Homo-oligomer: A and B are copies of this chain.
Amino acid sequence: MSKVTLKKIAETLGISTATVSKALKDYADVSPTTKSKVKALAEKLNFKPNSYAQSLRTQESKIIGLIIPQIVHHFFANIILGVIKSAEKEGYLVITLQSDESYDIEKEQLELLLDKNVDGILLSLADNTVRYKHISEIINDGIPIVLYDKISKSIECNKVVIDDKKAAYNATKHLIDSGCKRIAHIRGRLKPQTTIDRFKGYKEALKAHNIPFDKSIVFEAKNIASFEDGKNVADEIFLNHKDVDGIFAMTDLLATGVLVRLKELNVKIPKDISIMGFSNWFLTRITTPKLSTVDQPGYKMGEEAFKILFEQINNTRKGIKAPYKTIEIPTEVIIRDSTK
């Protein structure tokens, strides 16, 4: 049933679209009176719930939507794969959309997915999404949605994340343990939570090891998926911060940019400067020296995200309101040759 029709029925009867949807699906938590009112009106609007066999009987599309900030991206591509493969096992197909890290596109794509009557949505927030009304509306409408990777603590729903703070703490600790005394950090812009948490982990590791925090060696990359931004920070460190002996970049692409540029500048890695990335992209195994990093298992995250969405879809169908969960996927520091 189109969202427009759902809305029309809801408005006419003065109830929520979620109730309309549930009434048409014969959910247990809608009263028989409401159900018969909804069905009568649906009939009147030329919508006959019993005519379109299976898909109308259950109102299942057996399709879910997946909104991802970037597709050509090792970590996110692994998430897509994890989602698609787990979904397929349960008989679900996946519509994938790329939000280009844009709030406006993300908003529009959620509408597109709802119009296709998807059974649920997996969403990783775009970097510039800082308002959440478009998401809370979906939650209030009773449509299953799970946030993964880039989430917001202000949104109450099921979530799958890694413990970015802990992972960043461990990455920084490895630099400290291997002898670095002056460790720079390359972060992203203020939001989203991943940037905040990795920055926090970096600061906490310094603090725990009595290394003073110095904001002059924290660099903000415009685009954390940019090799070039990494190169620019390398230039900046080389010119103005000769005493830096370790760099923790919040992504492998930034770290790789730093590594390539410092090599061009004849800096010895890791003798002069140690470099630590984050994500364990394939490319970290082919740089010279090979890049130390934090393994962030995308496939596993995709699998878990689908699993929890699938649970929520089934619960919603049965009228069960389960408490929201936040699942944490473990990470691991991978020590290669760019650190001592």
Which residues of A does B touch, CB under 8 Å? 2, 5, 46-48, 51-54, 56, 62-63, 71-74, 77-78, 80-81, 84-85, 88, 93-98, 112-113, 116, 227, 256, 260, 263, 282-283, 285-288
Interface centre among A93, A282, A283, A287 (most CB of B within 10 A): A93
Bound-complex Cα distance A77 to B80 (A): 10
A54 touches B116 (CB 8 A): no
B286 touches A227 (CB 8 A): yes
Partner of A63, one of B52, B54, B95, B282: B95
Given contacts A283-B282, A286-B256, A53 and B63 within 8 Å (CB-CB): no
B77 touches A72 (CB 8 A): yes
B71 touches A2 (CB 8 A): no
Chain B residues with Cβ below 8 Å from A84 are 71, 96-98
Given contacts A5-B53, A286-B227, A98 and B116 within 8 Å (CB-CB): no
Could you say how many copies of this chain the assembly holds? Answer: 2
Additional A-B contact list (12), CB under 8 Å, known A71-B81, A95-B95: A2-B54, A46-B53, A47-B51, A52-B56, A62-B116, A63-B63, A63-B116, A72-B77, A84-B96, A93-B112, A256-B286, A283-B286
Chain B residues with Cβ below 8 Å from A81 are 71-72, 98
Bound-complex Cα distance A77 to B84 (A): 14
A78 touches B85 (CB 8 A): no
Chain B residues with Cβ below 8 Å from A56 are 52
Chain B residues with Cβ below 8 Å from A288 are 263, 287-288
Task: Show 11 A/B contacts (Cβ-Cβ < 8 Å), sorted by A.
Answer: A48-B51, A48-B52, A51-B52, A72-B74, A72-B77, A73-B77, A84-B98, A85-B98, A94-B95, A227-B282, A283-B286
**6 closest Cβ contacts across the A-B interface?**
A51-B51, A48-B51, A72-B77, A288-B288, A93-B95, A71-B81
